[in-house]
Every structure is written in C-alpha cells, then in structure tokens.
Chain A
Amino acid sequence: MATRRRVAREFQAPPLSRADVEALSERHHEPDWLRQARLAAWDQYESMPMPTTNDEPWRRTDYRHINWDSAGVLLAANGGTYEDIPAANRQPLLGEVQGGMLAFVDDRLVHREVDKKLADRGVIFTDLRTAAAKYPELAQKHLMTHAVTPETGKFAALNAALWTHGVFLYVPRGQSVTLPAHSIFYTTRPGATLGHILVVLEDGAQIDYLHENLSPTLDSDSSFVGVTELIIGDGANLRFVNLQDWGHHVYEFSHQRARVGRDGQLDWITGQMGGRLVKAFMEIDLDGQGSWGRMSAVYFPDGKQFMDLDTQQNHNAPHTTSDLLFKGVLKDQSRSVWQGMIKALPGAQKTDGFQANRTMIMSSEARADSIPGLEIKADDVRCTHASATGQIDDELVFYLMTRGLPREEAEKLVVDGFFVPVLDRIPFENVRDRLMAYVERKLLGQA
C-alpha cells in the first residue's frame, strides 16, 4: 500500500494570551468588573478547543489557511483619522442629517457626533469603553450576559475577553427616535480587531441603526472577531442594517444575536460583500409573546471569497413571527454556505416561521450550499422553508441584450432585480444606492 503524505495543518488558535487581556484592560484603565469579566471569558476561551470541520456548524468552513502571524496580532491605532474612511460611507443617512455617527479606525474612536435631539431624549450613543465607565450598571447588565454569552463559542469567548473597541447604543423606555444612528469600524492595517456592538432598546423604544465594517484590501491576512448584541424590550422596535465590505484579506468570525421582548419588532438587514472568509452566526430569539423578527441578507462573494452565514430563528413564546429572506449571487470561484434553523420551543404555539435562501450563480466554478432546518417542539405552528439555487438565467440576459444592453449591463440588471426584494427593505436610500454600487463593482470585476 502506498503511503501518502498529508499536509497536517491544524486548526490553529491565534497567538494571544491572558497577558494580552490584562494589558488591554490595564492600558484603558477599565473598571474592575470589566477586567474580571474579560478574564473569566479568557478562562472560558481557553477551556474550549478551536472549532474544526468535525464540528457540525463548521463542517463546511475550513479556515486553516489563515495566517495568524499577521491576522492574530492585536492591531493598535496608528494615527488613522476619520478622513481615512471613504467619504461615501461617512455621508449622512437622510439627506443632510443623521442622529449620530460613531467611527472607529483600527481600534480607536476617531469621530463621535450625536444630534441634540437624541441626547435630549436620553439616548446614549458612545463607544463601549466609555459606556462601561460612565454607565456601569447598564453595561454590566447587558454586555455578554443574555444575547451572546462567552459560552456561545470559541470566538464569542475570545471577543468577550479581548474586544478592542465597540459601540453602545441605548434608547430609554418609550423614546421613539426618528433620526438614525450610524457607526463604522474601519481598519487601515493588517492585524486582529475584535469589535463589539451592544444595542439596548428599553420597552417601547424605537430607532433605526446602520453599522458598517469595511477596509481596503491589504497584502497580509487580518482577522475580525465580532460580537453584535441587539436587545429589544417589550413593544420596542429596531431597524438594523449591517453592511460588511472588508478587504479580501480579512477573516471574519462573528456571533450576532438579538433578543426580542413581548410585541417587540426587529427588522434586521445585512449586506455581505467583502472578506476572504466570513463565518457569521446570526440569531434571533423571539422571547416575548407576539414578537416579530425579520432577517434579510444580500451577499455577493467573488474571486476566492467564502461566506458562511449561519442563521437561527428561535420561537420561544407563543404568537411569534419570524421571516428570513437571504439572496446571494456568486461569481468566479467563490463559495457560500447558508444554514438556517427555525426552532419552536414547547408551548410556542401559533408561531409562524419562514425562511428562504435563494442564490444565483454566475460561474461554473462557484458553489452555493443551502441547508435549511426545522426543530419544532410545539404542535400548533406554521414553519416553512424554501431555497433555490440556479445559474443566472441566460434567457433573461438574451432578452435584455435584444434591447441593446451589452452583456455586462444586462447581467447587472438581472442581478439588481434579483436583490431588489431585500434592497427594498433598507430604510436608507443612499445605503441602497451604495449597495447597488458595490454590486456593480463586483460585476465589473473591480472588487
């Protein structure tokens, strides 16, 4: 029998240590409770193995090619400024106005503005470190305690231990804010950043919020280990748009989870464009009776990009409704995975859960996997899923070309049209336009 040499690359952990946690906390003079929480999370992190392709949620996501020598070194600010961020992304969301802007370059807050109308209503929109110092009760109550916890997974624990920067958005009880909040994480150099977003809407509160992750494409691997926590009180209403346009050198590992109280509503839209490899867990818990959650995504990998979006819709109470619509277009040798689970707890009667993932493939070398799942423990429910994968329809392209559109423009129109049902859910026109521009850039091969 012939022996075969195998390249035995392991699923390696980044070269980080407990000393990094202590140094980080020390450097920022963080309160003791936060330092303790970070160290406890580090212990949690160390007690867990790195996920491998033997673990079901990671079965299709092989990140062994990441070079932790560059991607695992904590990135410290290096004089980057607000103006480094592309102007299009800094643009106000509604014509000339927005409720607030919080921008980070590398791991540092470089810009903060909050409209007086928000401040007057008691809205807090600040960086997470400041929030931990100024509003310790709020931060301690919500930070990684009931949306994403350190036990959730290896990367969740790592973020809990070592988050480098973060956003805290808080809307007090009954306050309905019409001006949207906007935040940006931007990186200028290779390395590791660990960003955190914590949104808390008290009962009856309402706001629209856009967060963007982006960077230019650089030569050396980088990592982003992210956590997003959305806590939506009874009768509260959050519209959250999350755009990801990392350079093609970034590996993202993120856990994002929302908890929705009684009669609360969450409309969550994500656009995934960049990154070398993206593994994002996105989860909605409908905890309160009558709550509603919608998750929508457009994703468009090209080149050798890999995107794995792992969604879960948890119906934990009766009369809850969830609706998921993901749409992906794939070019070149890119790959996507969507695995979606709808769960209904015993007693979550009269729930209505729906999920659909549709992908359009523009190359014979691209591949899209769709893995829907249902886990229903209540008997009076309606939970359904749909998914479809197909090549871009040549008949549509031909039809448009007979009207004089060159092939690239015909394809662009077909792709735009494919994404429209999700784009129409984005409450900001200039963000819709920007996503369309990303799509055009992808189609023209300028990614």
Chain B
Amino acid sequence: MGAALEIRNLHVSVENQPILKGVNLIVKQGEIHALMGPNGSGKSTLANTLMGHPAYEITAGQIIFDGVDLMDLETDERSRMGLFMAFQYPVVIPGVTVANFLRNAINARMKAENPDSKGIPIPAFRKLMIDKMNMLEMDTSFAGRYLNDGFSGGEKKRAEILQMAVLEPRIAIMDETDSGLDIDALRIVAEGAEKLTDSLDMGVLIITHYQRILNHIKPQFVHIMLDGQIVESGGPNLALHLEEHGYDWLREKQNGNGSVS
C-alpha cells in the first residue's frame, strides 16, 4: 500500500503573522491533486511548511507522512522519506554542478540507509542521469553547469523536474512549476511530471494559479485555497469553473456562510 501525506488542521505563522488557518488535506501515492488560489492565499506557505522551512512556524495541527509526524523531522529527513518539493524560485548554487549536486543527493540517501555505503558508482550515476535527462529532453551539457546559475526560467524548472526524476519521491509538491514557462517548456515539464507519476506511483500536489498546466497533467482532485484555508474541493471541473468565474463566487459564498471579512 502506498504512503499518504495527511495535513490536519494546520495553522502556520510567519514572523508571528498567521498565514495558514486550519488546512486539511490528504494526498495519497498515485493521486494527483491541484491546489489553486489567488496570490497570498497561503499556497507557497503550505509547500514550504511541508518541507520544514525554518521561517514557517507551526502553531497548531499536524503533518503526517507515511504514519510519521513530520514535526520531529529535519528537512533532509523528510526528503529521504520520499517527500519532494519543486521550488517556485529555485536558488542558484554557485560553483556546484548539476551532476555533482545530484550525486551528493543520491549518496546522502544511500548513506542514510547504510552508513558504510560508498555511494553510487560513477558509471551507474552517469547512466541514470543521462536517462533522466533524455526523458526531459535536456541537453546532457546541462550536467556540467553550475546549478541554476545563468539558467533560463524554463531551464530552472526543468532542473527541478530532473531532480525529482532522479530522487524518485513518493509524494511531490510542485510549487508553481508552470509559472514563467512558455508553452513548449510547460509541455515538457508537465509531461515529465506525468510520466514520473505513472512510473513511480507518485502522489503529486500541483500548486498553481492557472488552469493551463492541468491540460497536460490531469488532476483527480482540485482544491481552492482562500485566506489560509481550503474552502472548496472537487473534481477537475472545479478548475475549469474557476478559470471562467474567478474567485469572487467563492468569496461571496464564504461571506454568505457568515464568516467575518
């Protein structure tokens, strides 16, 4: 049976400012979820909190992954358990090549499992990397470049998906992976993610503003976040509805339900 990521009544503050105000969500392996919502609604806060970013303080609630409370785990331990986030704004790591970085990441996993591990042999690593790069239609010269240094927006996002492909997570969060991509790059990135979803039985949480990525990677579930809460969940049609009508109807529905605005 696959693992599940379970978010229970999650409250999160940044610099004592409450951002998430009671989020509930379950993502299982093999499922594709889309999380939509306007800017500032708390989507990226949720993503960063799931990975354990130190600036995000959990004030209430729980995050359970594969039966383990993540509160007690460092960011790297969460990663090694099979949680992954594709960053909205991947950082530049000067002087560290893509290949060097990926090999370190793989070796960190092998060493965590077996402290005596010598890490992945270079030929096996090269083959793995080239296979995954081919899948993502990436030029292999990419491997020798410094991570995200001078990368175009599309290259950065592709590099994120490459990492996902190499690390083979059980649950992946894609934080606005579609933003800043032209239509070709979007297709490659989305198709790559979809292939991984199928081949790895990976669960995915796609965070996005836009419907268009969902044309390439079809979610079974769509959730809408407003002001730190998931206010509506439904099937794929919800995203289409949103594309057409915007968020106002949800805000009105919220107010109509008597919440104080």
Q: What residues make up the interface of A, taking CB atoms closer than 8 Å to B? A: 393-396, 398-407, 409-410, 413-414, 416-421
Q: Which B residues are CB-close (under 8 A) to A413?
A: 93, 96, 100-101, 104
B residues 47-71 in Cβ contact with A at 8 Å: 51-54
Assembly CA distance A409 to B103 (angstroms): 12
Question: 1/0 contact trace for B131-142 toward A, CB 8 Å?
Answer: 000000000000
Q: Which A residues are CB-close (under 8 A) to B53?
A: 398
With A401-B79, A409-B104 in contact, is A421–B95 under 8 Å at CB? yes
Which of A401, A404, A407 meets B112, CB within 8 Å? Answer: A404
29 A–B contacts from the bound complex (CB under 8 Å): A396-B93, A398-B51, A398-B53, A399-B87, A399-B93, A401-B52, A401-B74, A402-B76, A402-B79, A402-B87, A403-B167, A404-B76, A404-B80, A404-B105, A404-B108, A404-B112, A405-B76, A405-B105, A405-B108, A406-B74, A407-B74, A413-B101, A414-B96, A416-B95, A417-B95, A418-B95, A420-B95, A420-B96, A421-B94
Is residue B146 contacting chain A, with contact meaning CB distance below 8 A? yes
Chain B proximity of A408: nearest CB distance (Å): 10
Assembly CA distance A335 to B112 (angstroms): 35
Chain A proximity of B25: nearest CB distance (Å): 19
Is residue B109 contacting chain A, with contact meaning CB distance below 8 A? yes
Which of A394, A400, A401, A402 meets B93, CB within 8 Å? Answer: A400
- Contact assessment for B91 and A396 in the assembled complex, using a CB-CB cutoff below 8 Å: yes
- Contact assessment for A416 and B74 in the assembled complex, using a CB-CB cutoff below 8 Å: no
Q: Which A residues are CB-close (under 8 A) to B108?
A: 403-406, 409
B residues 107-140 in Cβ contact with A at 8 Å: 108-109, 112
Q: Which A residues are CB-close (under 8 A) to B146?
A: 417
Is residue B90 contacting chain A, with contact meaning CB distance below 8 A? yes
Q: Which A residues are CB-close (under 8 A) to B101?
A: 400, 403, 413
Assembly CA distance A399 to B109 (angstroms): 16
With A396-B93, A409-B104, A420-B94 in contact, is A402–B54 under 8 Å at CB? no
With A401-B74, A405-B104 in contact, is A416–B91 under 8 Å at CB? no
- Contact assessment for A402 and B95 in the assembled complex, using a CB-CB cutoff below 8 Å: no
B residues 200-220 in Cβ contact with A at 8 Å: none
Q: Which A residues are CB-close (under 8 A) to B193?
A: none
Assembly CA distance A404 to B106 (angstroms): 8
- Contact assessment for B76 and A414 in the assembled complex, using a CB-CB cutoff below 8 Å: no
When C-beta atoms are compared, the residue in chain B nearest to A327 turns out to be: B95
- Contact assessment for B95 and A401 in the assembled complex, using a CB-CB cutoff below 8 Å: no
When C-beta atoms are compared, the residue in chain B nearest to A414 turns out to be: B93
Q: Which of A396, A405, A407, A420 has the most CB atoms of chain B within a 10 A radius of its CB?
A: A405
Q: Which of B76, B78, B108, B167 has the most CB atoms of chain A within a 10 A radius of its CB?
A: B76
With A399-B90, A413-B104 in contact, is A419–B95 under 8 Å at CB? yes
Q: Which of B74, B75, B79 has the most CB atoms of chain A within a 10 A radius of its CB?
A: B75
Assembly CA distance A421 to B96 (angstroms): 11
- Contact assessment for B163 and A403 in the assembled complex, using a CB-CB cutoff below 8 Å: yes
Q: Which B residues are CB-close (under 8 A) to A402?
A: 51, 75-76, 78-79, 84-85, 87
Assembly CA distance A394 to B51 (angstroms): 14
Assembly CA distance A407 to B91 (angstroms): 16
- Contact assessment for A394 and B54 in the assembled complex, using a CB-CB cutoff below 8 Å: yes
When C-beta atoms are compared, the residue in chain B nearest to A405 turns out to be: B108
Assembly CA distance A398 to B167 (angstroms): 17
- Contact assessment for B54 and A398 in the assembled complex, using a CB-CB cutoff below 8 Å: yes
When C-beta atoms are compared, the residue in chain B nearest to A395 turns out to be: B91
Chain A proximity of B125: nearest CB distance (Å): 15
Q: Which B residues are CB-close (under 8 A) to A399?
A: 87, 90-91, 93
Assembly CA distance A246 to B6 (angstroms): 54
Q: Apart from A403-B76, A413-B104, what 13 extra A-B contacts exist at CB < 8 Å?
A: A396-B91, A398-B53, A399-B93, A402-B75, A402-B84, A402-B87, A403-B105, A403-B167, A405-B104, A406-B76, A406-B108, A417-B95, A420-B95
Chain A proximity of B205: nearest CB distance (Å): 14
Q: Which B residues are CB-close (under 8 A) to A401?
A: 52, 74-76, 79
Which 5 A-B pairs have CB atoms at the shortest separation, nearest pair first? A417-B95, A420-B95, A404-B79, A401-B75, A417-B96
Chain A proximity of B251: nearest CB distance (Å): 33
Assembly CA distance A326 to B96 (angstroms): 19
Q: Which B residues are CB-close (under 8 A) to A396?
A: 91, 93
Chain B proximity of A410: nearest CB distance (Å): 7
Assembly CA distance A410 to B95 (angstroms): 13
Assembly CA distance A401 to B94 (angstroms): 16
Q: Which B residues are CB-close (under 8 A) to A414?
A: 93, 96
Q: Which A residues are CB-close (under 8 A) to B112?
A: 404, 406
Assembly CA distance A283 to B90 (angstroms): 41
Q: Which A residues are CB-close (under 8 A) to B78?
A: 402
Q: Which A residues are CB-close (under 8 A) to B76?
A: 401-407, 410
When C-beta atoms are compared, the residue in chain A nearest to B75 turns out to be: A401
When C-beta atoms are compared, the residue in chain B nearest to A412 turns out to be: B104
Assembly CA distance A417 to B145 (angstroms): 12
When C-beta atoms are compared, the residue in chain A nearest to B106 turns out to be: A404
Assembly CA distance A393 to B94 (angstroms): 12
Chain A proximity of B258: nearest CB distance (Å): 40
- Contact assessment for A403 and B79 in the assembled complex, using a CB-CB cutoff below 8 Å: yes
Chain B proximity of A426: nearest CB distance (Å): 14
Chain A proximity of B155: nearest CB distance (Å): 16
